[in-house]
Structure 1
Amino acid sequence: MLPATALALAVLAALLAWPVPAALSRARWPQRDPVAALVCWQAVGLAGGLSMIGALLVHGLAPWGHSLPEAWWHWITRQPAGEPVRGDHWGAQTLAAVLAAELLGVLLLSWVRTARTRRRHRELLELVVRPGAAATPAAETQLLEHPAPVAFCIPGARPLLVLSSGMVAELDDAQLRAVVAHERAHLRERHHLLLLPFVAWRAALPVLPAADRAHDAVRDLVEMRADDVALASLTGPDPRRTLAAAIVAAVGGPGGAVPSGALAVTGGAVAVRVRRLLAPAEPLSRAGRTAALCSAVALLLVPTALLLLPALGA
């Protein structure tokens, strides 16, 4: 039974490594519901990793039992294999261990490096910024003396929300409130944690085209989500045009002024975001959202079932 399970997991891993991410990145519905799309991308990443590692592990342990739990128990208790153990079985076990260690290790390393970089930028910025309550619409905003329009936030235990003096001079009060609301959304919903697994995925598997595609798609979606949250808190005759104008004004700022690891109002695909604000599509229907969320749950359940259900029938 385990060879069939390994084959099914390998097929699922191949689908999640190329056609599924390609189809999801080309789809238009994620722009209509970034939250549901983010859930789907997280499911694709988790299910893909589980399927790749699971396929190798199941094949490698096949001689020791008819289900993964049985084979694993026989293997760790050093019971003799019921079938001849070939070199490909040992190779699959080694690859599964290496891949699991690489994915988890790169995730941890990415988190440590990103946290260190953000902490260093925060410490440097705290030396040059000053409270911007007198010039900006939010008491927690820090003002950076810089002629270009720049706005960003540095997430973490001590988050920092920064506007440049050029941004304050360029935008009116309504546009500044829109920018601050956008950055607050990043901090409140901890969007940096949603991005982290895909930063690690791209670093761990640089030869996999889906890794780049997934990272870029998730980066765009968290920016769209921040736009939506900002719009819900804005008042005025046309908050969409207000936020769009603020984004366009900030695009003129130099990219180097935004620290590495920060989330900026100009992040993601700016042209797509501005079009989405000025010509909004209909929100995804309840049925469409339910279908997307059910698909995400199914993506996680299928590899889990393939790994565990054979034990129930053994």
Structure 2
Amino acid sequence: MLPATATALAVLAALLAWPVPAALARAGWARRDPLAALVCWQAIGLAGGLSIIGALLVHGLAPWGHSLPEAWWHWVTRQPAVEPVRGDHWVAQTLAAVLALELLGVLALSWVRTARTRRRHRELLELVVRPGSSAPDPDETLLLDHPAPVAFCIPGARPLLVLSSGMVAELPGEQLAAVVAHERAHLREHHHLLLLPFVAWRAALPVLPAADRAHDAVRDLVEMRADDVALTALPGPDPRRTLAAAIVASAGGAGGGVPAGALAVTGGAVAARVRRLLAPAAPLPPAGRAGAIAAALGLLLVPTVLLLLPAVA
């Protein structure tokens, strides 16, 4: 039964490595509901890693039992294999261990490096910023002397929301409030955690085109989600136009003012975000969102069931 399980997991891993991410990246509904699309991307990443590692592990341990838990226990306790052990079984075990260590190691390393970079930038900024008395909610916003219109947030245990003096001087009050609302959405929903697995995926598998596609898609969706959350906090007759104007006004200062590891209002595909704000598509209906969430849960359940079903059967 394990050879069939390994084959099914390998097929699923191949689908999640290329055609499924490509289809989701092109899907028009994703921009209509960025939150549901982000859930699907997280499921693709988790299910893809579980499938490829599971396929290798199942094939490598197949001679020791008829299910993964049984074979793993027999292998750990050094019981004799019930079927002949070939070289490809040892190779599969080695590849499974190497890939698991690489993915987890790169994820941990990305976390450490990003946290270290953000901490360094936070320490430097705290030396030069001052309370933003001319910005909305000065107790939560810091002002940086910089002539270009720049706004960004640095997430973490002590998050910072920073506006440049150029931003405060150039943008009218309603647009400035839109920028602040966008950055607060990043911090409140911890969007940096949604991005981190795909930063690690791209670093671990640089030759895989799907890794770049997934990273770019998640980055754009995170910004669109922050736009949507910001709109709910903006007063006025046309908050969409206000936020779009703020993004366009900020785009010219996005080059050198945003530190690495920060999330900025000018992140992602700016032109696509502005078009989405000014010409919004119909929201995804509740049934569509429920279907997307169900598909994400299904993606996570399929490899789990394939790995455990032989033991139950």
TM-score norm. by structure 1 comes to: 0.99
> Partner of 1:255: helix, strand, or coil?
coil
1:207 aligned residue: 207
Which amino acid is the alignment partner of residue 137 of structure 2? A
Q: Deviations over 1:8-66 (max 9, x none)?
A: 00000000000000000001101010110000000000000000000000000000011
Write the distance in 1 (CA, Å) between the matches of 2:194 and 2:137.
26
Alignment of 1:74-223 (within 5 A): 74-133=74-133, 135-139=134-138, 140-223=140-223
* Distance change in 2, residues 1:230/1:254 (3 Å): closer
Check whether the contact 2:114–2:261 (CA below 8 A) recurs between aligned residues.
Answer: yes
Give 1:137 deviation, angstroms: 1.1
Give 1:254 deviation, angstroms: 4.2
> Partner of 1:257: helix, strand, or coil?
coil
Which amino acid is the alignment partner of residue 67 of structure 2? S
Check whether the contact 2:31–2:221 (CA below 8 A) recurs between aligned residues.
Answer: yes
Query: Could you list the runs of 4 or more consecutive aligned residues of structure 1 that deviate by over 2 angstroms after TM superposition?
Result: none
Give 1:312 deviation, angstroms: 1.1
Write the distance in 2 (CA, Å) between the matches of 1:162 and 1:113.
21
1:54 aligned residue: 54
Check whether the contact 1:138–1:180 (CA below 8 A) recurs between aligned residues.
Answer: no
> Partner of 1:228: helix, strand, or coil?
helix
Check whether the contact 1:183–1:226 (CA below 8 A) recurs between aligned residues.
Answer: yes
TM-score norm. by structure 2 comes to: 0.99
1:296 aligned onto 2:296? yes
Number of residue pairs matched by the alignment: 312
Which amino acid is the alignment partner of residue 136 of structure 2? P
1:5 aligned onto 2:11? no
Alignment of 1:215-294 (within 5 A): 215-294=215-294
> Partner of 1:287: helix, strand, or coil?
helix
Which amino acid is the alignment partner of residue 127 of structure 2? L
1:21 aligned residue: 21
Give 1:195 deviation, angstroms: 0.5
Write the distance in 1 (CA, Å) between the matches of 2:206 and 2:276.
31
Check whether the contact 1:9–1:306 (CA below 8 A) recurs between aligned residues.
Answer: yes
> Partner of 2:256: helix, strand, or coil?
helix
1:65 aligned residue: 65
1:36 aligned onto 2:62? no
Give RMSD over aligned pairs.
Answer: 0.6
Query: Identity across aligned pairs (percent)?
Result: 85
Which amino acid is the alignment partner of residue 216 of structure 1? D
Which amino acid is the alignment partner of residue 23 of structure 2? A
Give 1:169 deviation, angstroms: 1.2
